[in-house]
Amino acid sequence: MEIDRKTCFDQARRVVVKVGSGVLTADDGLNTDVIASLSRQICHLTRNGLEILLVSSGAMASGQKKIGLDRRPEEIPKRQAMAAVGQAGLILCYENAFACYNRQVAQILLTSDDLSVSRRRYLNARNTLHTLMAWHVVPIINENDTVVVEEIKFGDNDNLSALIALMMNADILVNLTDIDGLYTGDPRTDPEARQIPEVARITRDLEKTASGLPGVLGTGGMLSKIRAARKVTVAGIPMVIANGREEDVLIRLFEGRARGTFFGPAHGRIPNRKSWIGFALKPRGEVIIDQGAARAILEKGKSLLSGGIRDVTGDFGAGSPVHIVDPDGRHLAAGLVNYSATEIRRIMGCQSCQISEKLGHKSYDEVIHRNNMTLLG
């Protein structure tokens, strides 16, 4: 489809802005000038009718500088303590900056479990954010580094911002970093690297082009931003990567000026519940299907039946989230299964009319109903 950057920005009403550590930090701690500029721009845009949710890095970097450490400690308790020190300073800096424009802010700290384990917790978080926006309070969202462990990490704030955009049905995701966008190579080492202004489709070759190396203070490199773009564009939400240190970059973007790299939406919007199934829930296993089942799912909009299943990985119960994988190993969709892994292994390759014979019962004809399935690409 043709990318229309201007239309996307003109029609946007709800926006998620993610700002990275490389933008927010200076040699002596937080870059207060950048925070003041971002706060001013956000207040300007909200006065013009936009709703903006801010996903902000900077707590770890702020804490590192405040404590006086030369580098991040390896020990988890020390890193979490450093984040606790930095988070206090980060939110205070934002509060003071927004107060200059009579705008209040709210701190929202999340772990992956808040969005991926319980539908109730997911809806509670969404309702809280809706309430804050109704009160014209700017939510400032970050991962709760002080309590998070590897099993419940989002991975980085690029991923978190994508999940927030999906959860809140945002119209666009703006990812502010310390370079001008996506390049054909690493501009730090390749003098011939050229900026890519627009991306219509995210391919594996494009992911290989992106650098996965994090910055000194950040945790996500360009590759994590590409993966975030893949999540939101599949769900119909465009994204732009732009330089957060450029003067008035947010205002210029919404004035229709071409800045950064724009990722166009792949197709129309998908319902919130399907976004949750496809991108927030962590898969408990994989269901490998044959080419016929893959075509039925991708081209005909069908549910997944037992006859098209060839293998199962993982140990999960009925109702669990899984990924549907084709014979070439491509992850086609995510869905909620109607049967456990043990039961699926017993009925795979069988017709639906044979399920009762194999299991002694038949709760559903479908292993994964189309209503509980989200295409991933």
145 labelled binding-site residue: yes
224 labelled binding-site residue: yes
pLDDT at 204 over 80: no
CA 313 to mean position of chain CA atoms: 25
Mean pLDDT rounded to a whole number for the chain: 87
Please tell me the distance from the alpha carbon of residue 79 to that of residue 267, in angstroms, as a whole number: 40
Average pLDDT of 147-158? Answer: 57
pLDDT at 151: 38
Q: Please answer whether residues 316 and 337 qualify as being in contact, where contact means their C-beta atoms are separated by less than 8 angstroms.
A: yes
Q: Please answer whether residues 237 and 173 qualify as being in contact, where contact means their C-beta atoms are separated by less than 8 angstroms.
A: yes
pLDDT tens readout for residues 238-269 = 999 999 999 999 999 999 888 899 999 887 78
Task: Give percent of the chain above pLDDT 90.
Answer: 55
Please tell me the distance from the alpha carbon of residue 133 to that of residue 154, in angstroms, as a whole number: 23
Higher pLDDT, 119 or 42: 42
Higher pLDDT, 58 or 11: 11
The DSSP output letter for 183 is B
155 labelled binding-site residue: no
pLDDT at 155: 54
177 labelled binding-site residue: yes
3-state secondary structure of 120: helix
pLDDT at 270 over 60: yes
221 labelled binding-site residue: yes
190 labelled binding-site residue: no
pLDDT at 74: 76
Element (H, E) at 358: helix 355-359
**Which of 125-134, 179-188, 211-220, 359-368 is predicted least confidently?**
211-220
Domain range 283-375, CATH architecture = Roll (2.30)
Higher pLDDT, 166 or 150: 166
27 labelled binding-site residue: no
Average pLDDT of 174-178? Answer: 93
pTM as predicted: 0.85
pLDDT at 2 over 60: no
Please tell me the distance from the alpha carbon of residue 174 to that of residue 161, in angstroms, as a whole number: 9
- Those residues whose C-beta lies under 8 Å from the C-beta of residue 344, and which sit 6 or more positions away, are 287, 306, 309, 312, 337, 367
Task: Give percent of the chain above pLDDT 70.
Answer: 93
Q: Categorize the per-residue pLDDT at 3 as very low, low, confident or very high, splitting at 50, 70 and 90.
A: low
Q: Categorize the per-residue pLDDT at 147 as very low, low, confident or very high, splitting at 50, 70 and 90.
A: low
377 labelled binding-site residue: no
Q: Taking the domain 5-274, which CATH number applies?
A: 3.40.1160.10
pLDDT at 304: 97
Domain spans, the chain: 5-274, 283-375
225 labelled binding-site residue: yes
Q: How far is CA 270 from CA 78, 88, 300, 322, in A?
A: 41, 37, 17, 19
Please tell me the distance from the alpha carbon of residue 84 to that of residue 81, in angstroms, as a whole number: 5
